[in-house]
Amino acid sequence: MKVLLITPSYHAGVVEAAGSWPNLGLVYLAGHLRAAGHEVVIYDAMTKGHDLAQIKARIEQERPRVVGTTSYTASAPAASQVLQVAKAVDPSILTVFGGIHANFMYEEMLKDWPWVDVVVRGEGEETLPELLDSWPDEKKLAQVKGIAWRNQRGEIIVNPARPFLPDLDRLIPAWDLVEWEDYTFYVLPGSRLGLVNSSRGCPHQCAFCSQQKFWQQSYRERSAESFVSELEHLKQTYGVNVVMLSDEYPTRNRERWEKILDLLLERQVGMYLLLETCVSDVLRDRDILDKYRAAGVIHVYVGVEATDQASLDQFKKSITCEQGREALALLNEANIISECSFVLGTPEETPEHIDQTLELAKHYNPDFAHFLLLAPWPYADLYPELKPFIIEQDYSKYNFVEPVIKPRQMEAEELAQAVLKCYKEYYLERIETYPAIRDRFKREYMLRSLQVMINNSFLRRHMQREGPLPAAMQKALELLESGI
């Protein structure tokens, strides 16, 4: 059976502003489908910037029997449109929807989007091949764990959940189906960017997040040898030289994580690694941060989220403000690019609190600070508390940059403008220091990141409205263009 796996075309100018990378979930699904005897095509409409007409043309060209897509909450409407187009091309196409939003919102999706045939809940590597073997026999479908679907009477059937995969080393990524020329990390010109994970799951309980609920607070690891061997394969076979770890928490097990670093050094893999981890692990690993850098870890995002303890406690972050500041300082001292975000826009948000957050963010001194508006995922622990303040039901706006919650003491537009002010003030004060950074790699990295932010992020359209770039920003860009 021919299967077309599509990444929907959704752009908010946030995470994807830094580069383009393969949809790792589809790469894994493709490998397992192919192992089960199916023909598979991966189509990244997002990276290609294709609209619905182009997506329709590609579906007509491929003539698949199955079209699958995946999404997070903000991209769910775009993913739904992909499946709607597939049904318009050929009503007999089996349409399958997966991803984190689908995992929780399957009943709403099957009720509101009649062009969606089946929703895959949880991990799909075993579920999807079993689904295709069973379709359209309803007796067989009823035995497929991990799906929600409609029977011939239009009733929504929710099958029991599928247990998580016991051994992540047995995953089968179909890297050969990836169009590698499409993927790069804009900050490093000429790079080829891959997305890989070394673990799945998160044991934390952050109230605004959903990863721990998706993984049911479980945590599974790949072996260090399996993970590093995959990095070697990507480097040697496809020329991948920058890897972003998709793990929610790759460093949890210090023994395994340090073995990964040691293997990267022993085998001289020669890759740059970008990852996220928690504040406590940076503090724990203060004695080996030099090994992080030597092994290729150049950029670390840490989950700081707030600069006041009341917000950290509300978000169920098991850290203190001082620990967050110290973790960022340690990364800076180790010459590792530091990044964090500050979540704004709770129902109790005020202009004064935003100003305070900005000033404390400057004190925390991360290389990159993001000021994100709280997105009320309908399945997050915070949702009941946020629901009375939600002013926007369009999921496509749940992207951290558009206000979907109205605080008691602020208007939505006032909140949006306050976020822009935070970005402007934070970076304008820092830009003048970029040319003086002594380490050449970091200096070039910071200047190119500034260029990427201006050219690709959601900030671009706001800057264009305000006229010419500030003099300090223009000077920094001129330095970059002159060869630094």
pLDDT tens-place string over residues 94-149: 999 999 999 999 999 999 999 999 999 999 999 999 999 999 999 999 999 999 99
Could you tell me the pLDDT band of residue 373, with boundaries at 50, 70 and 90? very high
Among residues 387, 404, 431, the one where a domain terminates is: 431
Q: What is the pLDDT of residue 142?
A: 98
Identify whether 443 is part of a domain. Answer: no
Q: What is the mean pLDDT of residues 365-393?
A: 93
Looking at per-residue confidence, does 329 or 11 come out higher?
329
Q: What is the pLDDT of residue 407?
A: 97
Instruction: Give the separation between CA 14 and CA 481, rounded to whole angstroms.
Output: 24
**Does 466 have pLDDT greater than 70?**
no
Query: Does 151 share its domain with 278?
Result: no
302 and 364 housed in the same domain: yes
Calculate the average pLDDT of the chain: 91
pLDDT digits (tens, 9 = 90+) for 9-64: 998 877 778 899 999 999 999 999 999 999 999 999 999 999 999 999 999 999 99
pLDDT > 90? residue 297:
yes
Indicate if 153 and 188 belong to the same structural domain: no
166: tokens are 């016991």
Q: In this predicted structure, what is the pLDDT of residue 445?
A: 94
Q: What residues pair up with 193 in beta bridges, in sequence order?
A: 242
Residue 70 confidence (pLDDT): 97
Last residue of a domain, one of 416, 431, 446: 431
pLDDT of residue 212: 61
Task: Using pLDDT thresholds of 50, 70 and 90, give the confidence band for residue 347.
Answer: very high
Using pLDDT thresholds of 50, 70 and 90, give the confidence band for residue 300. Answer: very high
Query: Is the pLDDT at 151 greater than 70, yes or no?
Result: yes
Beta pairing, strands 147-150 & 156-158: antiparallel
Would 441 be classed as within a structural domain?
no
Same domain, 152 and 191: no
**In 252-373, alpha helices (H):** 254-266, 279-284, 289-295, 309-314, 321-333, 351-364
Quote the number of domains for the chain.
2
- In this structure, the answer to whether residues 117 and 199 fall within a common structural domain is no
Q: Say whether pLDDT at 221 is over 70.
A: yes
How many DSSP H helices and E strands does the chain contain? Answer: 20, 17
pLDDT surpasses 80 at 315: no
Domain holding 214: CATH number?
3.20.20.70
Task: Check whether 272 has a pLDDT greater than 60.
Answer: yes
| Band (305; pLDDT cuts 50, 70, 90) | low
pLDDT in tens, 422-453: 998 999 888 888 888 889 999 999 989 988 88
Q: Summarize pLDDT for 185-203 with one digit per residue, the tens.
A: 999 999 999 999 999 987 7
- What is the residue range of 31's domain? 2-158
CATH at 78: 3.40.50.280
**For residue 250, is the peptide bond before it cis, meaning its omega torsion is within 30 degrees of 0?**
no
Statement: residue 325 has pLDDT above 60: yes
Q: Is 454 a member of any domain?
A: no
Long-range contact pairs involving 390-399 (C-beta distance under 8 Å, separation at least 24): 394/77, 395/73, 395/74, 395/76, 395/77, 395/101, 396/10, 396/74, 396/75, 396/76, 396/77, 396/78, 397/74, 398/73, 398/74, 399/12, 399/14, 399/74, 399/375
205 pLDDT tier (thresholds 50, 70, 90): low
Q: Last residue of some domain: 431, 457, 473?
A: 431
| 319 found inside a domain | yes
| Together in a domain, 381 and 345 | yes
The answer to whether residue 207 sits within a structural domain is yes
Whole-number pLDDT of residue 323 = 86
Q: Is residue 9 part of a domain?
A: yes
- Report residue 2's pLDDT band, with 50, 70 and 90 as the boundaries: very high
Do residues 122 and 229 share a domain?
Answer: no
Q: Which tokens belong to 38?
A: 């199916």
Q: Say yes or no: 239 and 145 in one domain.
A: no
pTM: 0.93
Average pLDDT over residues 147-158: 97
In terms of domains, do 91 and 188 share one? Answer: no
Residues 275 and 352 in one domain: yes
Question: Between residues 470 and 230, which one has the greater pLDDT?
Answer: 230
Q: CB–CB of 51/437 below 8 Å?
A: no
Q: Could you tell me if residue 264 is inside a domain?
A: yes
Res. 411: pLDDT tops 60: yes
Q: Are residues 121 and 33 part of one domain? A: yes
User: pLDDT tier at 206 (50, 70, 90 boundaries)?
Assistant: low
Q: How confident is the model at residue 307 (pLDDT cuts 50, 70, 90)?
A: low
Q: Are residues 6 and 140 in the same domain?
A: yes
Residue 196 included in any domain = yes
